[in-house]
Amino acid sequence: MTCGASRSGLDRHVMRFWKIMKAQSSNALLMSGAFARVVCLFVASVALVACHGIGSSGSDSSSSSFTIGGTITGLTKSSLVLANGSSTVSVSAGASTWTFSDSFSSDSSYSVTVQTQPAGELCEVTGGGSGTLAADVTDVTVECSVYGQWAWEGGLSTVDASGIYGTKGAASANNAPGARYEAISWTGPAGILWLFGGYGYDSTGALGALNDLWQYSPATAQWTWISGGDVGNARGIYGAQGVASASNVPGARYSSSSWIDASGKLWLFGGYGYDSTGALGTLNDLWQYSPSSGQWTWVSGGNVDNATGIYGAQGTPSPSNLPGARQAASAWVDTGGNLWLFAGYGYGSAGDLGSLSDLWRFSPSSGQWIWLSGGNANNAAGIYGTRGTASANAMPGARQAASTWVDGSGNLWLFGGYGYDSSSDLGNLNDLWKYSLSTGQWTWFSGSVARNASGVYGTEGTASASNVPGAREGANAGIDSLGSFSLFGGFGYDSSGGLGALNDLWQYSPATGQWTSIKGNNGNNALGIYGSQGTASGSSPGGRQGASSWSDSTGHLWLFGGVGYGSSANGYLNDLWQFIPP
């Protein structure tokens, strides 16, 4: 209602008010004076409402609709889309304010969310994002930041570097492990990163299997050579089983499996390398290293290569049980300190060589292995069942070089690798599985039942039920501070179905069951972008497989070496990287 066009409506309100006052008063003299004053006040108030509305801020609380907007900081990329119900607004790079073009009904509830993240950035509604509309909303705050960055922390940007060992036991800024792949790693107490063996370059520049043990301190940014030789292809020195000794040392090897227990001791199983006689083959020896004493102990398994598995009765521990020799098996440690081992490439019960699907558990307290599930023969196909439904019959197919995690509830998770799909076809896999310790059952959660699936990347930084990493082997795994799983690189299939070395970084949320592409290329064989060492400024590791990785105490993912792409060429790497979340 506008001023000047509302006279007849105002007259009707005045006459109605006069009739009410006249009916309720019997004193004409009182009414004549009082009524005049009240009518004046009433007319004035109605006129103010008609012409100007009410409210000191200029918003009309009697209005039927309002606008919603606010401020934004840190947005450097376009394609950010905010939403309130079905209404959306696109916010341009560099913007400081935003407002929905639509208006929203008075007294309706609102909730502003990020519908589409900008590529490479993470935007969050940090204040004023929800409520009930009583006036125009101008105080919704949105903050954006780069969705994590890689920092090149050490090593070379070139390939095939020799090791610089320095003095055993002495940290130095000059020390650096030689370029290598398929080394094993542990994160120790106080955030120390440990590295053992692999296949790569020793101190002389010779290429071979290694048995050197290193530690890296993120606090000092220095490497220390702790144990083992500085030349390749060394045989193992086993000593007496169960007895620690300063002279003991595992033979040079790669593609081993590793754990760290609650007391900070390092555990090592199998791999491909040198036994006690100097013979080269697949191993099934179990070792323990004590950082406090600096000594290795041969705990279990054989001291010669290519041993056949001794399975015993499924579900029954025995001193005679022993997994067969194998390489590239998957490993976990549970909350009770037990060591878990799955699959790999090696020897089953019949003594023939192939891909395995057996699940084992080792109890450090009893010193016994127990075969829990899977077959004792080679090359088994996967039995997938219904996605998301646990089953006593479900079982991942035989495989090697898969990636693993343990979630906050103690469940064991497994992704991909090179092995057999549901049709017994051999290739790279992208299936995601969970094993429940309480039920002893596997559940297939994500990915394809068929080999060699391409990656579905979606929008970088945006989770989606349709997103999934491509099939791959030799990828790296980590867990962030929120319990989400990280997956990096490996050798496998990109978004177009091309096969090569990958440098994509993914995140999987067990809570939502969705994958998010975080960083890197959706193609293969990307060169590394190194930038300034120690600075997170657009750097990115090149495509690679068989790198070593750690999750530190803050949930940051660390990455070392592998075989893949440096700044200009393909080869063995010794670069050290840290991924810093936003």
Instruction: Output the six-digit token pair for 236.
Output: 């193992």
Q: What is the pLDDT of residues 468-508, one digit of tens each?
A: 999 999 999 999 888 999 999 999 999 999 999 999 999 99
**Measured distance CA(365)–CA(242) in Å, rounded:** 12
**Measured distance CA(230)–CA(178) in Å, rounded:** 10
User: Which residues, including other chains, have CB under 8 Å from residue 438's CB and lie 6 or more apart?
Assistant: none
Say whether domain 177-306 belongs to CATH 3.40.50.970: no
Fold of 65-146: Immunoglobulin-like (2.60.40)
pLDDT attached to residue 11: 43
pLDDT attached to residue 62: 59
pTM over 0.75: yes
Residue 520 CA to its chain's centroid (Å):
14
Query: Phi and psi dihedrals of 340, rounded to 5?
Result: -115, 140
Fold of 307-453: Lipocalin (2.40.128)
**Measured distance CA(514)–CA(41) in Å, rounded:** 64
Q: What is the pLDDT of residues 91-141, one digit of tens each?
A: 999 999 999 999 999 999 999 999 988 876 778 899 999 999 999 999 999
Three-state SS at 497: coil
Q: How far is CA 546 from CA 149, 185, 328, in A?
A: 21, 12, 10
Averaged pLDDT of the chain: 90
pLDDT attached to residue 460: 87
Q: What share of the chain is helix, strand, coil (3-state, %, to 5)?
A: 10, 45, 45
Q: What is the mean pLDDT of each run of 10 residues along the chain (582 residues)?
A: 38 38 38 38 38 39 85 90 96 96 96 86 88 96 86 97 98 98 95 97 98 96 98 98 98 98 96 98 98 97 98 97 98 96 98 97 97 97 98 97 97 98 98 97 98 96 94 96 93 98 97 95 98 87 98 91 98 96 76
pLDDT attached to residue 31: 33
**Measured distance CA(179)–CA(328) in Å, rounded:** 19
Vertex 463 angle, CA 458 and 465, to 5°: 80
**Measured distance CA(416)–CA(536) in Å, rounded:** 30
User: Which residues, including other chains, have CB under 8 Å from residue 98's CB and lie 6 or more apart?
Assistant: 69, 70, 71, 72, 82, 89, 91, 142
**Measured distance CA(176)–CA(222) in Å, rounded:** 8
